[in-house]
């Protein structure tokens, strides 16, 4: 019995020795790894996104340094959460929403100077937090260029499934515009930073870069869009609440001006906004999130008389000398009168375009079938996307026979539909970009290129990574008929009876066409398309000013001023 305690002690010592042998020798690598993970931390380093630059080489978007907090959810306790809320000045629930316990690290970006100073002063109170400097996106003139550039922000779960590559939650990605279209070039390559911490989580030392990895800056994207011309267009729109203006070089498809008003504060969106702020933007009656250049679908008004003329000439329904029932400002069609803005009398085709006579073109439209209108307009590029390298483009709308039958019944519509479509009213809708693209081909003698905003992409050493190579676009229109409509458009601006005569330029021959589109929600929209110089066009401008009235009164002078500014600024 006296030996029993001794044997028990030996068994306990043997068990302890065996356990120590297991921990220190057999499982040594495992526990060393745990220790290293507690002592050594590795953080992803966000690279600066590439710059976005204008036609003049001026920076429109760049990355600037800002303070951020890296939080390690695994080590975070309730006391530290309380301290963080106090120093950051936010509520507990708001902080916890931004911290996902399933992530290795979470980030709070764009700290104020005051919050940053407090965290630095009390670093020992925050073992689960590390303060770093990382790039954030900044936009020059953000409201003016917001629709073109878009913005960048933290990736969402839905976007994580959509994007390809090594993306994780917390990454910054392009959300709209050029930022989204050229995300793969702008994003750069992530780096890694390795450092040692003590038992309290305070950084003891940072390992040199041979242990980590430098982040690689994203490529620079050079655009064809002029910053100076865009700012000038914005000044011309100062008295108007909403509209769009797009300018294109017909010889190469370059978009020189891309302007949609109102815009939104893209710098604010990169910081992240609340659901209430999002709802305020979405529900704003002026629709600041709506890109009117590529997604604004408008009745073209009398601008449509140009392609109505082309369809009529190409199908031998009218000739240059064709006359119809004289214009006495009213024409009885079906069971009601259709009006014109003025008594024009008896006109031939050229004068009907110059004076924008509705009565004349009602009769041109009624000489066609709906299928002829839709098929030919589609061949001219309408109801189709133009293929611009900015996400979110829409294709406009051309109503078909089936569409009318479904809406009004097979006997519910008649010739008045064709009369309306011929003058750009009714159900036909076009985008400003479609108008600029079509008239670029008209101005250029029947061909142009797909519209694009990209000029080139370069690396940090200036080597060209990518250049724009747009497809050529051709109009199925005879040279004779194109020449006729070009001459007619020149006379619209440069003859006394022309609807845009008071917007002509003394030193530059501009050709164009006015449009006034009826708007069921308010005043008429004012439209104008113009190109110059007439002999060798270098710019086509399509302008829409919402709720402004006649095209000749507002859109025409804005357009010709933009044309003059461009030709005198870049062609001296």
**pLDDT tens digit string along 373-406?**
999 999 999 999 999 999 999 999 999 999 999 9
Query: Tens digit of pLDDT for each residue in 99-145?
Result: 776 666 777 788 777 888 888 878 777 777 877 888 999 999 999 99
Q: Where are the domains of the chain?
A: 42-116+129-199, 227-272+290-570
Q: What is the pLDDT of residue 265?
A: 94
Q: What is the pLDDT of residue 317?
A: 97
Q: Taking Cα atoms as reference points, which of 184, 183, 168, 197 lies closest to residue 75?
A: 197
Task: Decide if domain 227-272+290-570 falls under CATH 3.40.50.2300.
Answer: no
Three-class SS string for 309-345? HHHHHHCCCCCCCCCCCCECCEEEECCEEEECCCCCE
- The answer, yes or no, to whether residue 572 has pLDDT greater than 50, is no
Say whether the peptide bond before residue 533 is cis (omega within 30 degrees of 0). Answer: yes
The whole-model pTM stands at 0.88
Classify residue 48 by its DSSP letter.
P
Q: What is the pLDDT of residue 460?
A: 87
Class of domain 42-116+129-199 as given by CATH: alpha beta
Q: What is the pLDDT of residue 29?
A: 58
- The answer, yes or no, to whether residue 439 has pLDDT greater than 50, is yes
Q: Buried b vs exposed e over 296-331: b needs ≥16 C-beta within 10 Å?
A: bbbbbbbbbbbbbbbbbbbeeebeeebebeebeeeb
> Between residues 34 and 233, which one has the greater pLDDT?
233
Mean pLDDT across 419-432: 95
- The answer, yes or no, to whether residue 344 has pLDDT greater than 90, is yes
Quick one: pLDDT band at residue 157, thresholds 50, 70, 90?
confident
Quick one: pLDDT band at residue 39, thresholds 50, 70, 90?
low
> Between residues 88 and 304, which one has the greater pLDDT?
304
Identical fold at 42-116+129-199 and 227-272+290-570? no
Q: Taking Cα atoms as reference points, which of 530, 539, 549, 312 lies closest to residue 423?
A: 312
Which tokens go with 250? 């017909």
Q: What is the pLDDT of residue 34?
A: 45
Quick one: pLDDT band at residue 70, thresholds 50, 70, 90?
confident
Question: In angstroms, rounded to a whole number, what is the distance separating the alpha carbons of residues 96 and 85?
Answer: 10
Q: How far is CA 11 from CA 7, 22, 25, 173, 252, in A?
A: 6, 16, 20, 62, 90
Q: What is the pLDDT of residue 25?
A: 65
């Amino acid at each position: 019995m006296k030996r029993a305690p001794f044997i028990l002690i030996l068994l306990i010592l043997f068990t302890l020795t065996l356990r120590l042998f297991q921990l220190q020798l057999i499982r040594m690598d495992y526990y060393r790894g745990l220790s290293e993970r507690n002592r050594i931390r590795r953080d992803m380093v966000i690279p600066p996104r590439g710059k976005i630059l204008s036609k003049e080489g001026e920076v429109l978007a760049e990355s600037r340094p800002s303070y951020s907090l890296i939080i390690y959810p695994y080590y975070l306790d309730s006391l530290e959460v309380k301290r963080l809320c106090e120093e950051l000045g936010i509520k507990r629930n708001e902080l916890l929403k931004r911290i996902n316990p399933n992530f290795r690290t979470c980030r709070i970006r764009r700290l104020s100077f005051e919050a940053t100073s407090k965290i630095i002063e009390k670093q020992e109170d925050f073992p689960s937090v590390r303060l770093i400097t990382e790039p954030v996106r900044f936009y020059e003139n953000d409201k003016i260029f917001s629709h073109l550039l878009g913005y960048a922000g933290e990736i969402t779960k839905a976007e994580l499934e959509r994007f390809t590559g090594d993306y994780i939650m917390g990454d910054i990605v392009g959300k709209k515009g050029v930022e989204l279209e050229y995300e793969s070039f702008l994003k750069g390559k992530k780096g890694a930073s390795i450092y040692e911490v003590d038992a309290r989580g305070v950084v003891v030392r940072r390992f040199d870069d041979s242990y980590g990895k430098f982040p690689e800056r994203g490529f620079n994207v050079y655009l064809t869009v002029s910053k100076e011309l865009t700012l000038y267009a914005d000044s011309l729109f100062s008295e108007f609440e909403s509209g769009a203006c797009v300018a294109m070089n017909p010889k190469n498809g370059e978009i020189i001006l891309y302007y949609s008003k109102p815009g939104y504060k893209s710098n604010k969106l990169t910081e992240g906004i609340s659901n209430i702020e999002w709802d305020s933007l979405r529900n704003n009656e002026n629709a600041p999130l709506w890109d009117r250049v590529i997604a604004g679908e408008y009745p073209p008004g009398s601008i449509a008389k140009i392609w109505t003329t082309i369809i009529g000439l190409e199908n031998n329904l009218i000739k240059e000398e064709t006359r119809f029932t004289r214009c006495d400002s009213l024409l009885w069609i079906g069971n009601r009168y259709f009006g014109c803005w003025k008594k024009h009398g008896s006109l031939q085709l050229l004068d009907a375009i110059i004076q924008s006579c509705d009565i004349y073109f009602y009769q041109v439209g009624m000489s066609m079938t709906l299928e002829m209108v839709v098929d030919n307009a589609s061949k001219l590029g309408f109801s189709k996307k133009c293929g611009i390298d900015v996400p979110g483009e829409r294709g406009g709308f051309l109503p078909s026979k089936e569409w009318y039958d479904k809406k009004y019944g097979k006997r519910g519509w008649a010739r008045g539909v064709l009369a309306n479509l011929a003058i750009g009213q009714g159900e036909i809708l076009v985008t400003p970009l479609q108008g600029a693209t079509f008239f670029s081909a008209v101005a250029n003698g029947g061909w142009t290129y797909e519209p694009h905003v990209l000029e080139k992409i370069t690396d940090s050493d200036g080597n060209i990574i990518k250049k724009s190579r747009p497809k050529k676009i051709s109009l199925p229109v005879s040279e004779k008929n194109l020449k006729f409509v070009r001459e007619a458009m020149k006379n619209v601006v440069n003859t006394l009876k022309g609807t845009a005569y008071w917007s002509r330029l003394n030193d530059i021959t501009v050709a164009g066409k006015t449009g006034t589109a009826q708007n069921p929600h308010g005043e008429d929209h004012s439209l104008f398309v113009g190109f110059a110089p007439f002999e060798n066009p270098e710019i086509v401008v399509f302008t829409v000013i919402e709720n402004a009235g006649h095209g000749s009164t507002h859109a025409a002078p804005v357009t010709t001023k933009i044309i003059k500014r461009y030709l005198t600024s870049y062609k001296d």
